Amino acid sequence: MEGVIVNFRGSKRTKSNNQMVLKVSKFEDKEKAKSLIGRSVIWKSPAGRVIKGKITNIHGNSGALRVAFEKGMPGQSVSQKVSVE
């Protein structure tokens, strides 16, 4: 299953560099998205580097998910596809 990284998770003044907001197209609401909590996520950079993460919680009411990655994510990862396992 594929998803798209929407943005960094953060507030007005603080951004978390290892937590991202993810949107999966098949899950449009909060209740369906809850079934994905605990799954692993893999992002592959254009250079071939692989960064793994885990879905920790839902984000908002439209089915977006919070993902905690093991390392800081580069800015080029925003709006790129990830695989959800």
Instruction: Output the pLDDT for position 15.
Output: 87
d(CA 54, CA 70): 8
Share of the chain above pLDDT 90, in %: 85
Q: Residue 16 has what pLDDT?
A: 86
Q: Which domains does the chain have, with CATH numbers?
A: 2-84 (2.40.10.190)
Mean pLDDT, each 10-residue run in order, the chain (85 residues): 94 91 92 94 94 96 95 92 95
- Cα(85)–Cα(80) distance, integer angstroms: 16
